[in-house]
């Protein structure tokens, strides 16, 4: 038994030594000698495994390629989205630059950071990146290229908070484009998309506004200058008020799209904004100015005509006096250049000539 075990151990050791020696021989073989052995193994016994490995590597490369394609298509899609966002931002900035160039002075540009709490259904305020150091004051109007956004509520040194037209505290005195109807704009009390609508209240019953009528700030109250676009009339709202009408307005500005705004300074509010938002009221005032100018021109023309008529009468009168003088044998005084002075001089000279001298 022990002999068999010893024999078995020797066999095991011998086999191990044999395997090790063969392996070492394989290791020390030259490439040209070992390659035929490896090649023969690959073509015979190991061929199925080679096929399996090749197939697995193909699957792997196909998977990697598809992953790379997916990544490439994803990056293209992301680039497209970014490009779209850049285009939108570029468009907004162009509009802001356009508004700034139209306003020329009296505004402070600021970036708008939306600060809606998760619990809020509607965005009611926004943080502006300009503060009192830049000149922002409380109650300064906040405008966008499309129209009125809100009003500054608090102004800290480096930032300020503005309430939007959706805020329950927001009010603006407003009027129709042709200044035929005045009222007060309130935020509309509704849910969902209706929460972003506005109401124009207090419009006299005799005035009826058609859907699509543009509504602008009226400038009354002093908070907003006249002529900032607020929105357009959508429909009339039924209320219990017998003497006034209330209209539902679609705001000109969508708060979610506002990223850059201009804060109008108090001085600019006092001086007005002119026809920046294309208000017909400004066109109307321009028309009035043109009419007034025409009137003054007409007055001037009438004045010139009256002077010419007077000059003509004077010359007729002079001619008559001269002929009378000639008939009486008196000397004719040459006509001076200045009509008014000559008249006076001629009267004097006529008197001197016509007075008979007393005999001495």
Partner 1 sequence: MNWTGAVRTMLVCAILIVLHYTLRPLLAWRASIDFLIVALLLGSVRLRPGAAAVYGFLLGLVADSIAVSPFGAAALAMSIVGFGASWLKAVFFADNLALNGFFLFLAKWIFDLIFLIVGHRAIDPELAMQIFVWSPLAAAVTALAGVVVLSLLKPLMDVRTT
- Residue from the set 6, 52, 207, 311 that interacts with partner 1 by CB under 8 A: 52
Given the rule CB under 8 A, which of 57-65, 143-151, 176-184, 251-259 is the region that contacts partner 1? 57-65
Of residues 31 and 338, the one with the C-beta less far from partner 1: 31
Determine, following the binding rule CB under 8 A, whether residue 29 of this chain makes contact with partner 1: yes
Provide the minimum distance between the beta carbon of 4 and partner 1 in the complex, in angstroms, as a whole number: 12
- Residue from the set 42, 79, 309, 326 that interacts with partner 1 by CB under 8 A: 42
Determine, following the binding rule CB under 8 A, whether residue 66 of this chain makes contact with partner 1: no
Determine, following the binding rule CB under 8 A, whether residue 120 of this chain makes contact with partner 1: no
- Residue from the set 6, 7, 15, 341 that interacts with partner 1 by CB under 8 A: 15
Provide the minimum distance between the beta carbon of 7 and partner 1 in the complex, in angstroms, as a whole number: 11
Provide the minimum distance between the beta carbon of 3 and partner 1 in the complex, in angstroms, as a whole number: 16
Determine, following the binding rule CB under 8 A, whether residue 16 of this chain makes contact with partner 1: yes
Given the rule CB under 8 A, which of 17-25, 69-77, 186-194, 299-307 is the region that contacts partner 1? 17-25
Determine, following the binding rule CB under 8 A, whether residue 71 of this chain makes contact with partner 1: no
Determine, following the binding rule CB under 8 A, whether residue 8 of this chain makes contact with partner 1: yes
3-state SS of the chain is CHHHHHHHHHHHHHHHHHHHHHHHHHHHCCHHHHHHHHHHHHHCCCHHHHHHHHHHHHHHHHHHHHHHHHHHHHHHHHHHHHHHHHHHHHHHHHHHHHHHHHHCCCEEEEEEEECCCCCCCCCCEEEECCCHHHCCCCCCEEEECCEEEEEEEEECCCCEEEEECCCCCCCEEEEECCCCCEEEEEECCCCHHHHHCEEEEEEECCCCCCCCCEEEECCCCCCCCCCCEEEEEEEEECCCCCCEEEEEEEECCCHHHCCEEEEECHHHHHHCCCCCCCCHHHHHHHHHHHHHHHHHHHHHHHHHHHHHHHHHHHHHHHHHHHHHHHHHCCCCCCCCCCHHHHHHHHHHHHHHHHCCCCCC
Determine, following the binding rule CB under 8 A, whether residue 62 of this chain makes contact with partner 1: no
Determine, following the binding rule CB under 8 A, whether residue 56 of this chain makes contact with partner 1: yes
Determine, following the binding rule CB under 8 A, whether residue 26 of this chain makes contact with partner 1: yes
Determine, following the binding rule CB under 8 A, whether residue 12 of this chain makes contact with partner 1: yes
Query: What residues line the site for partner 1 (CB under 8 A)?
Result: 8, 11-16, 19-20, 22-29, 34-35, 37-38, 41-42, 45-46, 49-50, 52-53, 55-57, 59-60, 63
């Amino acid at each position: 038994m022990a002999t068999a075990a010893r024999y078995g151990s020797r066999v095991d050791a011998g086999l191990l030594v044999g395997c090790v020696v063969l392996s070492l021989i394989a290791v020390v073989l030259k490439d040209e000698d070992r390659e035929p052995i490896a090649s023969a193994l690959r073509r015979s016994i190991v061929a199925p495994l080679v096929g399996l490995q090749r197939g697995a590597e193909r699957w792997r490369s196909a998977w990697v390629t598809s992953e790379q394609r997916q990544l490439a298509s994803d990056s293209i899609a992301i680039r497209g989205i970014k490009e779209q966002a850049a285009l939108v931002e570029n468009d907004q900035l162009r509009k802001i630059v356009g508004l700034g160039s139209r306003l020329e002075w009296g505004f402070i540009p600021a970036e708008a950071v939306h600060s809606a709490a998760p619990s809020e259904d509607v965005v009611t305020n926004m943080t502006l990146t300009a503060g009192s150091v830049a000149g922002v004051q409380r109650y300064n109007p906040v405008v966008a290229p499309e129209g009125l956004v809100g009003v500054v509520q608090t102004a800290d040194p480096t930032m300020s908070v503005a309430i939007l037209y959706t805020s329950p505290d927001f009010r603006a005195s407003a009027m129709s484009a042709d200044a035929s109807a005045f009222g007060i704009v309130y935020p509309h009390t509704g849910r969902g998309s209706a929460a972003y609508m506005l109401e124009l209240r207090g419009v006299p019953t005799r005035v009826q506004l058609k859907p699509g009528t543009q509504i602008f700030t009226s400038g009354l109250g002093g908070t907003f200058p006249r002529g900032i676009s607020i929105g357009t009339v959508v429909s009339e709202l039924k209320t219990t008020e017998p003497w006034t009408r209330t209209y539902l307005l679609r705001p000109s500005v969508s708060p979610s799209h506002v990223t850059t705004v201009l804060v109008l300074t108090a001085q600019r509010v006092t001086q007005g904004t002119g026809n920046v938002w294309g208000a017909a009221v400004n066109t109307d005032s321009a028309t009035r100015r043109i009419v007034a100018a025409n009137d003054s021109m007409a007055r001037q023309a009438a004045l010139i005509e009256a002077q010419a008529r007077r000059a003509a009468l004077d010359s007729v009168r002079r001619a008559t006096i001269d002929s009378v003088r000639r008939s009486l044998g008196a000397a004719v005084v040459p006509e001076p250049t200045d009509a008014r002075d000559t008249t006076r001089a001629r009267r004097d000279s006529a008197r001197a000539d016509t007075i008979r001298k007393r005999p001495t």
